[in-house]
Structure 1
Amino acid sequence: MGTTKLTLGLLKNTKNPKLAWQLFKRIQSSSTDSSFLPSVPTISRILIRSNMLQEIDHLHHLLLSSQPQLTPLSSLISLVKLLARSGFFDRAFSQFQSIRTKFPQNPPSVCLYNVLFECCIKERRSDYVLWLYKDMVGAGVSPQTYTFNLLICGLCDLGHLDDARELFDKMSVKGCVPNEFSFGILVRGYCRFGLADKGVELLDDMRRFEIRPNRVVYNTLISSFCKEGKTDDAEKLVERMREDGLFPDVVTFNSRISALCRAGKILEASRILRDMQIDEELGLPRPNVITYNLMLEGFCKQGMLEEAKTLVESMEKRGDLMNLESYNIWLLGLLRNAKLLEAQLVLKDMIYKGVEPNIYSYNVVMDGLCKNGMLSDARMVMGFIISSGLSPNTVTYSTLLHGYCRKGRLYAANSILHEMMRNGCFPNTYTCNILLHSLWKEGKISEAEDLLQKMNEKGYGVDTVTCNIVIDGLCTSGKLEKAMEIANEMWTHGSAALGNLGNSFIGLVDDANSNKKCIPDLVTYSIIINALCKAGRLDEAKKKFKEMMGKNLQPDSVIFDIFIHIFCKEGKISSAFRVLKDMEKEGCNKSLQTYNSLILGLGSKNQIFEIYGLVDEMRERGITPNVFTYNNIIRCLCENGKMQDTTSILDEMLQKGINPNISSFRMLIEAFCKACDFGVAQELFEIALSICGHKEALYKLMFNELLVGGQLSEAKLVFEAALYRSFHLGGFLYKDLIEKLCKDKKLEEASGILHKMINKGYKFDPATFMPVVDELGKRGNKHEADELAEKMMEMASDGRVENKIYLNAREPIHRKEIKFGGDDWQTIVHRDDGSGIALKALKRVQKGWGQGSISRLQPHKNQFLDYWEGGG
């Protein structure tokens, strides 16, 4: 078969690569000349595109084992290039080595070395770069300027700037002249690592080579200086740029605005935008849609929603300045600032104006709704997605599933999982981590183990987040030593360290699937250090901190906050401020958590003046106090008897839109009742009901305080209101109320309360009847006394147990104090290392992880996994 016919035959069978391969082999084996060789690139592409790796190796050996005159080196080199450019670096490199062994006297061209260098840099395989360079020099192949540019780029990406500069200086020695790309690569490398000043020095070197800096080099340097806060240096570069005959373009200004926004210097960025809009006489470029989007994103990230809204309105008036990306930025900004209704209106407005939302738009809105517990609204958005012709993706389903898991509604979450898989959208590692966390939190340990097993079998990958979930669970359930053992093993065995959990977990994680990148991160150390501090093992926590530093994990404010909090909690204020000093030296900013801990510590020492100083500092830094901040201040003021100041704090909270919680009102009511100011206490109680709702805890607090304070009539009214609402009566001092009413000769009122409790169907302590029965007996009301005595005996015969007060018509009310982790769990499972938000979720994970539940005593199916058996 002729060369052209063979190539055409192969091309016809592109969609049937196995047949194409058989055809090529038959022609090659029967050929006595090299006529099949021009078809080698065609069959190579077909095999590579079909991932037929064994056949590719076979092709290489066929070519290598053929007679030298039938196997031109170019065919083998062509195959290596195709493999390298298609991402099969290891095979490309292996074949290249075999070519060098087979043809040591025929060195490849510099072009092949350049291709391999490109792939090394792309794959970050620095070890192969050195081997290739030595082989190149040994083969007598002279590098080109392009070769040097590749090597300099690779060294810069790895952060080896000194080596990159040394290689740059050697270019001239090797007979290669640096070009504008050589300078640009090195300038970018310096800027990436905060060394823009060295980049500026290169501008002078460019003149020695008679190379004029281009806009890209200037824009890179200007952006870097803006990012570092060196706006004066940036302005000087803009002037120098003009002197070189290069007028700043819109990219220059966008670079400046982007860098300033990233640095939080929004006002400076907005001034540049204003100049671009109005100063036409200066010849400034007009802002484009990218300029406006950068500015909009900057406003949104800083919570400057009024400014963002004004900008959006001006963009909409222009029409061409408001695109899909602009709307997505605006949606994200609204939802980050809890403006849920506004975000939903924007979504509807987009559709009305003909800007079709994409799946990202819908996912952003769904995430905001789910985080705020508005699951029915999130379900409606899911309906919009489907009706608009889009298909929900893994992120969509995972977001909704996370919302249900956060609410503890695992049955509904299970339904979402089934729906997801029925629609051909399979879970990823992030989805599995959400489920794993929820299962462990709910005490479904066997299902959590099954899920971990299934993750391993399905190849979803057990990542660092997965390991952190397990480690945190072990710490929370008191198994700190086992948690530390797993964390230590992660350094050498990756996720396979989970095999150390015990018999039920052995073999869950296959070493072959273990990802070596699954190593401890800042979150891992945060969990361990936090647990050690809580256990009072402070010296060990400090050792872990040193170990973390030794592993090149730089601490963030979260790690420092752990130590500050424990010192403040123990009243060691001077130690806390020493840690604060170290924290600031490391360049970590004080967070809201830092201030709350310090205020807590100062409050324990009654240092009110210092507390107010910290609050002023918070405002100056733009950090808004939250309810915990105010509660710490209220506690300090109450303990020091400064009651008038507490009411002004409460007023400030309400004016700032920070709703006090039950703890806030508990401290205030208790303090005013202790000061015998029951009138103010009752006013606070009414305010509490309007803000927190008619909570049982508030009624119990107010009733008990009034009763202890001798305010019998007021206490009775509160208790009757509690009875009307059918509250659980555990903790209410109702026996004392009835006893005191009887002592005050208010038998009718005492008997009335008793009968109300009986009529409402309450079962309660039979001893409650005794004061009324005795008083009735004293008054000669024998018949009524006998009736109550008989009721008392009947209730006693039921075997009533103290503290299980409940209504006959209802199931027993089990009270269990639960702390929920809130919305912060998506930065563990979808975070970047060092995030200050990550530990907030870890510190509030529900207590009782791993203790099981009643449902575990019964045989049950694994609801989350049974559907997977038939799934993909």
Structure 2
Amino acid sequence: MDEFTLGCFAQSLCKARRWREALSLFEKEEIVPNTVLYTKMISGLCEASLIEESMDFLNRMRTSSCIPNVVTYRTLLCGCLRKRQLDRCKRILSMMIAEGCYPSPKIFNSLVHAFCRSGDYSYAYKLLKKMVKCSCKPGYVVYNILIGSICGNEELPSSDVLELAEKAYGEMLDAGVVLNKVNVSNFARCLCGAGKFERAYTVIREMMSKGFIPDTSTYAKVIGFLCNASNVEKAFLLFDEMKRNGIVRDVYTYTILIDSFCKAGLIKQTRNWFDEMVRDGCAPNVVTYTALIHAYLKARKLSNANDLFEIMCSEGCIPNVKTYTALIDGHCKAGEIEKACQIYARMRGNVEISDVDMYFRIDDGNSKEPNVFTYGALVDGLCKAHKVKEGRNLLDAMSVEGCEPNHIMYDALIDGFCKPGKPDDAQEVFAKMSEHGYGPNVYTYSSLIDRLFKDKRLDLALKVLYKMLKNSCAPNVVIYTEMINGLCKVGKTDEAYKLMLMMEEKGCYPNVVTYTAMIDGFGKVGKVEKCHELLREMGSKGCAPNFVTYRFL
């Protein structure tokens, strides 16, 4: 049997995982294995995924003074790559280069791809340097593999990994290589995500100078990131450039820019873009309309918002819950509660209504579903319009519909009941709030305590304060001062003073208003020495008295 036939037979045995038979075949035939035979043995073992055995053969080959060649090492590298034994790949590559066997660009490309897939971008970048040392010039494929792998994930790369992509990009430019369309877009996106907006802008420019024409998607991504970083000016330049380059500006790109201009308060410019969008035959979507409607409402231009809403509906663009919520909230904040309720009724699929009270007599199941923000805006608006009863009815209705009220809505109702002097109703809401697992906050307690003091129900106010402390909700200086002032006004100066000492123990320090209330209280019950003592204490604690303080002395 000649060497070639023996090699092929041995390789077939190895593929069948009968490598021991292949070895004995060598011995029986009394043929001294050469590089070709060893390489065929190693190839068969690698194809059978017997990597350990193939490495043993490599060592046997070396000890027998038979020198591995490029094909031998390439075979081993491919076998290790298939099994993802990357540490072994590193060792084989080092041996290979040390012996003057340089991998082909294709092998380097495969190695870079494998290390990128494993997340070892640092070594993948080092492979580019090894390529140069091996007189193998990195080209289009390997640069796109590295930069594409780093920037192609949905999650942004870490700063040190992105820095590797930037280094590779710089070397790529020097080599006269360009990125493909997808990688330009993703690289620019990652640069924007890292706050390197100027760099992203430059990348687009550099690629364009080399004949790359960004598509709508690339422009949209970069414009979006620039807008999110409030770099509207640069975003506008790219947007304008799209038209000059004959790139279609789609609804997504228009909407990104319109939304950003709205957030920047540039309503006039936004409307110009909106009108141009329509002239270009690009139909605005619900997000586009809602962004501009919201901007009009924030600027208190309610008639513009309402007109645009009617245009939206007439064009067949169906408003969503965000559109309705923006309109309801905007009208509530402007004090137009009647109009807000009409919009809410329209949202629910009801007919136009003439007043708020009528709305609460309408019940129609054929409706769109408002969310907690919609209800929140309306409840808050009703309370501020002194229609607290209607606000509570709405809160009850939303609970029945399975939309759980939030903390803000309970606070609005409690404050709404407290202001007209209905603390009992406020306490009822307060109790319901606790039942639903919402711990009252400082604002909630403050509204209730303030109303109880105004109604001269001091004992109940104190109970609320102690409940507040028990629930680990620290009163602020305003609440403590209000309590101290209320107690002093009814002659309970000792209780007031104890409360002032307690507030300091709790880490809340009296201010000039607190001290002044206490001095006034002691003065009215004839405790002049105590007044002077408090005045000295103010000085020692750096709390300067005001003219009201001195007036009470």
Work out whether residues 493 and 522 of structure 2, in 8 Å CA contact, stay in contact via their aligned partners in 1.
no
Where do residues 629-708 of structure 1 align in structure 2 (5 Å cutoff)? 661=485, 687-689=490-492, 701-702=523-524
- Does 2:534 correspond to 1:847? no
Q: 1:254 aligns with which of 325, 345, 354?
A: 325
TM-score (norm 2): 0.58
Work out whether residues 487 and 496 of structure 2, in 8 Å CA contact, stay in contact via their aligned partners in 1.
no
- Does 2:408 correspond to 1:329? yes
Q: Taking structure 1 as reference, are residues 206 and 729 closer, same or farther at Cα in structure 2, changes over 3 Å only?
A: closer
- Does 2:130 correspond to 1:65? yes
Greater RCO structure (CA 8 Å; 6+ sep): 1
Match in the other structure for 2:550: none
User: What SS does the aligned partner of 1:172 have?
Assistant: helix
Where do residues 588-627 of structure 1 align in structure 2 (5 Å cutoff)? none
Q: 1:212 aligns with which of 283, 289, 293?
A: 283
Q: Taking structure 1 as reference, are residues 369 and 138 closer, same or farther at Cα in structure 2, changes over 3 Å only?
A: same
Where do residues 295-444 of structure 1 align in structure 2 (5 Å cutoff)? 295-296=378-379, 298=381, 306-316=389-399, 318-320=400-402, 322-323=403-404, 326-333=405-412, 342=428, 345-350=431-436, 357=437, 361-362=438-439, 365=441, 377=467, 381=471, 400=472, 403=474
Q: Taking structure 1 as reference, are residues 24 and 330 closer, same or farther at Cα in structure 2, changes over 3 Å only?
A: farther
Q: Taking structure 1 as reference, are residues 403 and 247 closer, same or farther at Cα in structure 2, changes over 3 Å only?
A: closer
Q: Taking structure 1 as reference, are residues 236 and 845 closer, same or farther at Cα in structure 2, changes over 3 Å only?
A: farther
Distance 1:376 1:701 in 2: 27
Counterpart AA for 2:529? G
TM-score (norm 1): 0.39
Work out whether residues 328 and 377 of structure 2, in 8 Å CA contact, stay in contact via their aligned partners in 1.
yes
CA deviations over 1:566-604 (Å, ceiling 9, x no partner): xxxxxxxxxxxxxxxxxxxxxxxxxxxxxxxxxxxxxxx
Work out whether residues 107 and 139 of structure 1, in 8 Å CA contact, stay in contact via their aligned partners in 2.
yes
- Does 2:179 correspond to 1:97? no
Q: Taking structure 1 as reference, are residues 59 and 376 closer, same or farther at Cα in structure 2, changes over 3 Å only?
A: farther
Counterpart AA for 2:182? C
Where do residues 23-172 of structure 1 align in structure 2 (5 Å cutoff)? 23=88, 25-26=90-91, 28-29=93-94, 32=103, 34=106, 37-38=109-110, 40-41=112-113, 43-44=115-116, 46-47=118-119, 56-66=121-131, 67=134, 68=136, 72-73=141-142, 74-81=144-151, 85-89=155-159, 91-102=161-172, 104-159=175-230, 161=232, 163-172=234-243
Larger radius of gyration: 2
Q: 2:87 aligns with which of 4, 16, 22?
A: 22
Q: Taking structure 1 as reference, are residues 346 and 109 closer, same or farther at Cα in structure 2, changes over 3 Å only?
A: same
Q: CA deviation at 1:312?
A: 1.0
CA deviations over 1:817-858 (Å, ceiling 9, x no partner): 667xxxxxxxxxxxxxxxxxxxxxxxx996379xxxxxxxxx
Work out whether residues 100 and 107 of structure 1, in 8 Å CA contact, stay in contact via their aligned partners in 2.
no
Distance 1:244 1:308 in 2: 34
Q: Taking structure 1 as reference, are residues 41 and 306 closer, same or farther at Cα in structure 2, changes over 3 Å only?
A: farther
- Does 2:335 correspond to 1:270? no
Q: CA deviation at 1:108?
A: 0.9
CA deviations over 1:713-749 (Å, ceiling 9, x no partner): xxxxxxxxxxxxxxx78369xxxxxxxxxxxxxxxxx
5+ residue gaps, structure 2, are 1-45, 48-76, 97-102, 354-363, 450-461, 499-517, 545-553
Q: 2:309 aligns with which of 233, 238, 245?
A: 238
Work out whether residues 224 and 259 of structure 1, in 8 Å CA contact, stay in contact via their aligned partners in 2.
no
User: What SS does the aligned partner of 1:253 have?
Assistant: helix
Distance 1:845 1:144 in 2: 70
Distance 1:692 1:65 in 2: 82
5+ residue gaps, structure 1, are 11-19, 48-54, 351-356, 382-399, 408-625, 629-657, 666-686, 705-727, 733-802, 804-813, 820-843, 850-872
User: Percentage identity across aligned positions?
Assistant: 19
Distance 2:412 2:165 in 1: 52
User: What SS does the aligned partner of 1:61 have?
Assistant: helix
Distance 2:333 2:194 in 1: 29
Distance 1:661 1:305 in 2: 29
Work out whether residues 40 and 75 of structure 1, in 8 Å CA contact, stay in contact via their aligned partners in 2.
yes
User: What SS does the aligned partner of 1:661 have?
Assistant: helix
Distance 2:138 2:192 in 1: 34
Q: What is the aligned length?
A: 405
Work out whether residues 188 and 201 of structure 2, in 8 Å CA contact, stay in contact via their aligned partners in 1.
no
Distance 1:276 1:627 in 2: 44
Work out whether residues 185 and 218 of structure 2, in 8 Å CA contact, stay in contact via their aligned partners in 1.
yes
Q: Taking structure 1 as reference, are residues 251 and 135 closer, same or farther at Cα in structure 2, changes over 3 Å only?
A: same
Counterpart AA for 2:542? K
Work out whether residues 108 and 127 of structure 2, in 8 Å CA contact, stay in contact via their aligned partners in 1.
no
CA deviations over 1:244-293 (Å, ceiling 9, x no partner): 23243444322312444566655543342244347248999534234224
Q: Taking structure 1 as reference, are residues 219 and 729 closer, same or farther at Cα in structure 2, changes over 3 Å only?
A: closer
Counterpart AA for 1:192? K
Q: 2:368 aligns with which of 286, 297, 313?
A: 286
User: What SS does the aligned partner of 1:143 have?
Assistant: coil
